[in-house]
Structure 1
Amino acid sequence: MKARAFFIITTLSLTIASVVTSCKKDFLNTVPNDRLSGEFFWKTEEDAELAVNAIYPNLDAQSQLFLLDGLTDIAHVNQFFAVSSQVEQNVYDASSSVIASQWSAAYKGIAAANFVLDNINRVPETETNKVALNQYRGEAKALRAYQYIKLAASFGDVPLVTKTISIQEGKQLVNAPINEIWDFIDKELKEAVELLPSTIEKGRISKGAAWALNARANLYAGRYQNAIDAAQKVFDLNLYHLYPRYEKLFSYAAEGNEEIILDRQYLKDVLSNNVFSTMAPYSQATSTNTYVPTKSIADLYPMANGLPITDINSGFDKFNPYIDRDPRMRYSMFVPGDVLPDGKIFNPLPKSGTPDAIGSTFNATSTGYTIKKYINNEDLANPANNGINSILIRYAEVLLTFAEAKIELNQINDQTALNAINQVRQRGDVNLPPLSNTLNREQLREAVRKERTIELAFEGFRMFDIRRWKTAETAIPGSVYGITYLDNGQLKTIEVPSYIKKFDKNRDYLWPIPRNEKILNTNLVQNPNW
């Protein structure tokens, strides 16, 4: 059995155990079948493992990562009638179901972790199970911190819930200051590191994953030295390396490779996802193109010589815009002329007569680009039953976190920041020229931000990045543009009709506390100007 199926089978076992314990002869003493009874559970190491495994399904699926980027400048919500489209256009309020689902999903994961940490001490500890029980404690702590990172970055001051609570207690929660949330995350992850092994079954939180999350959290919090130190801990483990083929990084063949620090596990026919049917070009099994790339990200990819396409010496050919570009462009997104999973050529040009033609249907791409990450030929035959894992932490992110934090602290004389960026740029099948060692701090800041955007495109980082950089107010607003193509001898650029993105710098750097949460709990304080 594949290692990546570990939580699937055990979670099913957990459900079965719950049902079995409810089938007692004495009807009046029946155990409720919607929960686990302490009378029958928390007796063995296996019980603890089952409970920890039940936390993992709260990790992000690919659809969540695509959504986050779809609300920024680098991607677009393809169906104008989708609820998430209202958020992208900034015509939503605190009652938005999109925002509410982000809040509730995170607290669901936190509640699952709290359940473990509140009860795991009930399992009798022995010399033979002590290490395993500590590992489960560490996993729960790190998984809880994972959710709080997203909450803090999205909402700012949020309730800090560290134990299982009743409905009445939930109605009395208050917002904890964001610095208190970051303090808690840092403490939790450092405690988790002490409990976790360095090497572990694929798909589980390891020591490296906890340190990587700590680096991410401290970068988001602006605690740059802590981010550097945590990233260095990942390096010191010497367990992770850049996978040499970016082109295959999101393929079945590359699952579990040396770059992946944590992924959410899937298994076709058992616990599958539908990333192909929702993200592939429309011509491929009538996929829905839920989110599509924009001209903003397309134009950001430099030429293969490392120069931006706006540089007159770059060699950029506006009539052949996809030739000699950073290879990650065509590894990350389908552009006109690419070969599709069914072997045909991707042709989204208006009036091309293909199913992918812009304007042919509301499911066809509206920009002329579609996302290629996670789209695998193996899934064409059964597009709604995919087993490709969702990558949540990879080594390239840690390198770029280290580099950015060093640059922000102006620790650039030793060139370790520059070297980290160049490692990412010079991955085997990317092989861009290294950045010059003469770049000053401002130039390096621009370089690392551009590198994060390109390297991590469509992986759910962009929203958090432009918020903490305070660049969202310039990056997001405006029309949505797509491909530039030749029409009757004239170059034309696609503009999505009647669609304007907006961003209010006095309000939108934080999402609103969901309205229903405030109705249920009047103690919660709404974010400014919501």
Structure 2
Amino acid sequence: MKNIKSIIILLIAGWLSTNCQTDLLETIPNDRISKEIFWQTISDAEFAANAVYPSLDGLGIFAYDGITDLLMTNHPFNANVNIQRGFGTVATGRFFSEWEDSYQGIRRANDFMDNIDRVQYDNASDINRLRGEVMTIRAYHYIKLAMLYGDVPLITTDIDIEGGRNITRTPVSEVWDFVEAELEQAAAWLPYHNNGRIGKGAALGLKARAMLFSGRFSQAAEAAKRVIDDGEHTLYPDYYGLFQYQGQNNSEILLDRQRARDVNAHNIYAILAPWSQIPGSTGSLYVPTQKMIDMYEMINGKSIDDPDSGFDPFNPYENRDPRLAHSVFLTGRTPLPDGGTYGSTPNTDGSDAVQITVYSTATGYNVRKYVANQDYNNPSNSGLNIILLRYAEVLLTYAEAKTELGEIDQSVYDAINAVRERPSVEMPPINMEDGHSQEELRQIIRKERTVELAFEGHRLFDIRRWRIGEEEMPGMPLGMTYVENGELKQVELQGFERSFNSNRDYLWPIPQQERDLNPNLVQNQGW
């Protein structure tokens, strides 16, 4: 009986205790920052905006070019090789990771936008600036998703698990509508120069890119022209230095993924540098093809296949567009970080002779952009920022959009020539007086864009919007030409054939993992 009474007394005491503390079960979690205590100050808002920035692309931009005709994935066991050869499936990891990464970034942005109104502030411009930054990043992800997958779910607020299981794909035209409006509003809120943060130039430049990609040429030209006319961004004079430490945060950069040694480093050097320059590592993950090299004109502005160009196949790197040597390691010419000279000629004892190891270049070339001598001793600790949008692209976007509209005037030529005549490049101008047709100028701009923005993640998207995949992608990649016993020979990647199915490959498939969770996500044609 004593035990029973004791139990009853304890139960009553416990009941009284809990009824006196009506909020006992409404405690604030101590393992994370709760909304109840976080979204209060402008500092909270800035921390939240900062958390969205890491979702921007970094080293992944090289993989976009690495599955095209101008740059190839060099390691035969890398998963991207299956995409190059047309063997990708709905279960391919790359198709899923791009989808997942973008929607994770969008979810972070949506969480910010859903909660920013909780913050108490004195100056609305401070809050709107942060809104503009996050909206720009969200639009960046939707541009990429639209180009990779076409119709995609347009999610602008937080959704629960059940909502995720029932959402459907939004027509891509509506995605472009959203991106256009989102970036226009962001541009209205953002200042131009923003101490490494996203500014007005990024919003307008991305709007120009998005409208060009979607075929809305009038809006593309208008957005690009605003950046040009505002005069806040200029071309950096040193094309090589643009991708080195000395060019960090210069006035040409509209958007980049900011990095820092020892704090937020990456291994771009270890990925791109020649094999000989990566002690104990691999290198040469992505290497240029001969097709890319051949696109660089002679210094006189003529294509190498022009009989009057002066091109000498026995000295193929002489008198070429300076951007070639700035962008690519060329055998016998380019200094290496260790002080030697790049040597890739097959069947020699050169530093990086073709296929001297499974990791050495298979084409005889290596990417020079972003390979900094300062990173030689610690190749996985690079602090170089990865450029995602720069002023040269805006100029070429303006020229292309105006050309597609048939509004070809001197401003179009001025935009092209500003890029060609950059100090350290100084290629001959394209003259309006020569009377180029619309088609001729279209091809000039496309070539200029490919050369200027080489290895910066644009080629995959350009192939898709120009609808040239079936013409440019299939076939065996070719490597360098070289002289052996007085004869000209060429590196061929025997047994490696790129493939492109025009009925399927202009879009990636909706990842199977997503369709397993949500069958409402109808699959793209051919997959």
TM-score by length of structure 2 reads 0.93
Aligned residues: 499
Question: Which residue in 2 is equivalent to 1:516?
Answer: 513
How far off is 1:354 after superposition?
3.4
Q: Which amino acid is 1:194 matched to?
A: A
Structure 1 residue corresponding to 2:183, chosen from 166, 179, 189: 189
Q: 3-state DSSP class of the match of 1:239?
A: coil
Cα offsets for 1:461-499 (capped at 9, x unmatched): 001011100011111110011100011221111111211
Regions of 4+ moved over 2 Å: 26-30
Question: Which residue in 2 is equivalent to 1:116?
Answer: 112
In structure 2, what is the Cα distance between the partners aligned to 1:42 and 1:172? 30
Q: 3-state DSSP class of the match of 2:345?
A: coil
Structure 1 residue corresponding to 2:219, chosen from 217, 226, 233: 226
Structure 1 residue corresponding to 2:323, chosen from 320, 325, 328: 328
Q: 3-state DSSP class of the match of 1:494?
A: strand
Q: Which amino acid is 1:496 matched to?
A: L
- In the TM superposition, 1:43-192 aligns within 5 A as 43-61=40-58, 63-126=59-122, 129-192=123-186
Cα offsets for 1:418-442 (capped at 9, x unmatched): 1111111111111111112121111
Answer whether contact 1:275 1:384 (CA < 8 A) is retained. Answer: yes
How far off is 1:86 after superposition?
0.6
Q: Would the alpha carbon gap of residues 120 and 222 (structure 1) be closer, same or farther in structure 2, given more than 3 Å must change?
A: same
Q: Which amino acid is 2:506 matched to?
A: Y
Structure showing greater Rg: 2
How far off is 1:327 after superposition?
0.4
Structure 2 residue corresponding to 1:201, chosen from 188, 195, 203: 195
Q: Which amino acid is 1:417 matched to?
A: V
Answer whether contact 1:198 1:237 (CA < 8 A) is retained. Answer: no
Answer whether contact 2:72 2:286 (CA < 8 A) is retained. Answer: yes
How far off is 1:199 after superposition?
2.3
CA-based RMSD of the aligned residues comes to 1.3
Answer whether contact 2:477 2:492 (CA < 8 A) is retained. Answer: yes
Question: Which residue in 2 is equivalent to 1:266?
Answer: 259
Q: Which amino acid is 2:131 matched to?
A: R
- In the TM superposition, 1:99-498 aligns within 5 A as 99-126=95-122, 129-202=123-196, 204-286=197-279, 287-337=282-332, 338-412=334-408, 414-437=409-432, 438-498=435-495
Q: 3-state DSSP class of the match of 1:186?
A: helix
In structure 2, what is the Cα distance between the partners aligned to 1:349 and 1:37? 60
In structure 1, what is the Cα distance between the partners aligned to 2:222 and 2:257? 26
Q: Which amino acid is 1:495 matched to?
A: E
Cα offsets for 1:189-245 (capped at 9, x unmatched): 01111211222111x111111000000000000000000000011112211111111
In structure 2, what is the Cα distance between the partners aligned to 1:233 and 1:145? 19
Answer whether contact 2:41 2:119 (CA < 8 A) is retained. Answer: yes
Q: Which amino acid is 1:121 matched to?
A: D
Question: Which residue in 1 is equivalent to 2:15?
Answer: none
How far off is 1:29 after superposition?
4.2
Answer whether contact 1:110 1:147 (CA < 8 A) is retained. Answer: yes
Q: Which amino acid is 1:87 matched to?
A: I
Cα offsets for 1:13-37 (capped at 9, x unmatched): xxxxxxxxxxxxx99946163x531
Q: 3-state DSSP class of the match of 2:491?
A: strand
- Unaligned segments of structure 2, at least 5 residues: 1-23
TM-score by length of structure 1 reads 0.92
Cα offsets for 1:253-301 (capped at 9, x unmatched): 0111111111111110000010111110000024421100001110000
How far off is 1:355 after superposition?
4.4
Question: Which residue in 1 is equivalent to 2:11?
Answer: none
- Percent of aligned positions that are identical: 46
Question: Which residue in 2 is equivalent to 1:38?
Answer: 35
Q: Which amino acid is 1:447 matched to?
A: I
Q: 3-state DSSP class of the match of 1:262?
A: strand
Q: 3-state DSSP class of the match of 1:331?
A: helix
Answer whether contact 2:342 2:351 (CA < 8 A) is retained. Answer: no
Answer whether contact 1:208 1:237 (CA < 8 A) is retained. Answer: no
